[in-house]
Amino acid sequence: MTAHVIDGRAYAADLRAQLTDEVRELVAQGAQPGLATVIAGDSYPAHAYERRVRRLAEQLGLRYVRETLPAEVDEADAVAVVGKLGADPRVSGILVLRPLPPQVSEAALYRALDPLKDIEAVHPVNAGLLALGRPRFVPSTPASVFHLLDRYLTESGRDVQHVYQHSNVVLVGRSANVGKPAIMLAMERGATVLSCDVHSYTAGLLYEHTSHADILIVAAGSPGLIHGEHVAEGVIAVDVGINPVNDPDTGKVRLVGDLDFPSVSERGEAITPVPGGVGPITDVWLLRNTIRAARMALGVATARPLLEGMALQPADGLLNVG
Ligand code: NAD
């Protein structure tokens, strides 16, 4: 068996085209979506991500604001910046980029976010709503994982709900921003879910667990952690990992995932590549959440019934709200 390679770039391009239309509609209704990022210090990955989302925001015609803070910024000053963006009506969505400098606690900044602009659902209220299965925003990376899966399963002609309800979904890694919310989304779809982590006492049984997965989602940040021999024939495998490694053939750094792509491809039904799988969708999803926040703000500002109507609509086609 050679796995079908799920093309995240093509899915992302489709989403982007939808968003272009949505922005046009919102502008016609008198709203102008705006994204703000807060970045502290000089982390290379944080700056690279900031550049990507800025470019995308500009391409989609969103307002864009970047608050750049020095690495030695006080926590109180960083909190004040987040609060100021919350009060700014030109800003619909706020992204706090990680890592933060050690003297600034993530929790303090997340609590300072306006929950209606918290597009990564890191404020305790939004994280709680997600855990209850009533998300206001679905964080971009786990949302992308399930966007890929939902669309792949639909396109392969299956009854998507039936597939999830009859699947063992195994997740490797349980960070607050990726693994844990992905667990919620898998449970919400009716799957039998197993969460594996290196910090569990059963970590030594990782490959026993992964070999029982119908759908395997790996978000550990460990290059080539899972090989073909660790998965079942016919698995659908989603690779969230992005790991820079030195390529001995070229002497250059390249990005690889947590799956050993060649050997897992030999056994799987479908696989996401790195790069070109989850990553491109994640970037677009952040903008999608920003546009959603702008629409919610428009509802609050113009007509209460519009907001109430929205609460009855499915959130991002992922879960039900209200
Ligand atoms: P993290 O370091 O915060 O969390 C990793 C999790 O995996 C932790 O729970 C850790 O205990 C667990 N883990 C680590 N090694 C393990 C092992 N050998 N066995 C089992 N569990 C293990 O990282 P994160 O923010 O969740 O990101 C994970 C990976 O996904 C990273 O490579 C990151 O670069 C990538 N990422 C990709 C996207 C994207 O858009 N594709 C977005 C965010 C993160």
Q: Which DSSP string corresponds to 10-77?
A: HHHHHHHHHHHHHHHHHHHTT---EEEEEEES--HHHHHHHHHHHHHHHHHT-EEEEEEE-TT--HHH
Average pLDDT over residues 315-322: 38
Whether residue 214 is found in the same domain as residue 148 = yes
Residue with CA nearest ligand 1 atom 42 = 141
Instruction: Tell me if 303 is assigned to some domain.
Output: no
Whether residue 84 is found in the same domain as residue 161 = no
Instruction: Tell me if 107 is assigned to some domain.
Output: yes
Alpha helices in 189-303 (DSSP H): 206-210, 261-267, 278-302
Whether residue 110 is found in the same domain as residue 145 = no
Task: Give distance in angstroms: CA of 175 to centre of ligand 1.
Answer: 7
Q: Is 174 in the pocket of ligand 1 (CB under 6 A)?
A: yes
What pLDDT is stored for residue 315 in this prediction? 44
Whether residue 147 is found in the same domain as residue 250 = yes
Instruction: Tell me if 126 is assigned to some domain.
Output: no
Q: Is 275 in the pocket of ligand 1 (CB under 6 A)?
A: no
Q: Is 284 in the pocket of ligand 1 (CB under 6 A)?
A: no
Task: Give distance in angstroms: CA of 42 to centre of ligand 1.
Answer: 21
Taking the CA of residue 140 as reference, the ligand 1 atom at the shortest distance is 40
Whether residue 109 is found in the same domain as residue 161 = no
Beta bridge partners of 205: none
Instruction: Tell me if 11 is assigned to some domain.
Output: no
Task: Give distance in angstroms: CA of 220 to centre of ligand 1.
Answer: 3
Q: Residue 113: pLDDT above 50? A: yes
Task: Give distance in angstroms: CA of 26 to centre of ligand 1.
Answer: 36
Full DSSP string of 165-187 = HT-EEEEE---TTTHHHHHHHHH
Which of 50, 198, 288 gets mutated to test ligand 1 (max ligand atoms within 8 A of its CB)? Answer: 198
pLDDT band, very low/low/confident/very high, at 301 (cuts 50, 70, 90): low
Q: Is the pTM of this model over 0.85?
A: yes
What number of other Cβ atoms are within 10 A of residue 177's Cβ? 18
Q: Contact, 198 vs 215, CB < 8 A?
A: no
pLDDT in tens, 213-255: 999 999 999 999 999 999 999 999 999 999 999 999 999 999 9
Whether residue 274 is found in the same domain as residue 180 = yes
What pLDDT is stored for residue 299 in this prediction? 80
Whether residue 205 is found in the same domain as residue 110 = no
Q: Residue 319: pLDDT above 50? A: no
Whether residue 236 is found in the same domain as residue 199 = yes
Instruction: Tell me if 16 is assigned to some domain.
Output: no
What pLDDT is stored for residue 308 in this prediction? 38
Structural domain of residue 237, as residue ranges?
139-279
Locate 72 and state its tokens.
């030695």
Whether residue 175 is found in the same domain as residue 104 = no
What pLDDT is stored for residue 1 in this prediction? 74
Residue with tokens 């009716």, as numbered in its chain? 190
Q: Residue 320: pLDDT above 50? A: no
Residue with CA nearest ligand 1 atom 40 = 279
Average pLDDT over residues 22-36: 94
Instruction: Tell me if 91 is assigned to some domain.
Output: yes
Whether residue 253 is found in the same domain as residue 149 = yes
Taking the CA of residue 274 as reference, the ligand 1 atom at the shortest distance is 41
Q: Residue 88: pLDDT above 90? A: yes
CATH code of the domain in which 171 resides? 3.40.50.720
Task: Give distance in angstroms: CA of 216 to centre of ligand 1.
Answer: 14
Average pLDDT over residues 39-53: 95
Instruction: Tell me if 308 is assigned to some domain.
Output: no
CATH code of the domain in which 32 resides? 3.40.50.10860
Cα gap 244→229, rounded to integer Å? 24
Whether residue 243 is found in the same domain as residue 144 = yes
Alpha-carbon Rg for the chain, nearest whole angstrom, is: 20
Distances (CA, A) of 35 to 94, 105, 180, 223: 6, 22, 25, 32
Please state, rounded to an integer, the average pLDDT across all residues of the chain. Answer: 92
Whether residue 201 is found in the same domain as residue 84 = no
pLDDT band, very low/low/confident/very high, at 302 (cuts 50, 70, 90): low
Domain boundary among 55, 85, 116: 116
Task: Give distance in angstroms: CA of 219 to centre of ligand 1.
Answer: 4
User: How many domains would you assign to the chain?
Assistant: 2
Q: Is 142 in the pocket of ligand 1 (CB under 6 A)?
A: no
Instruction: Tell me if 38 is assigned to some domain.
Output: yes
The DSSP symbol for 225 reads -
Which of 145, 175, 230 gets mutated to test ligand 1 (max ligand atoms within 8 A of its CB)? Answer: 175
What pLDDT is stored for residue 305 in this prediction? 39
Q: Is 197 in the pocket of ligand 1 (CB under 6 A)?
A: yes
Q: Residue 322: pLDDT above 50? A: no
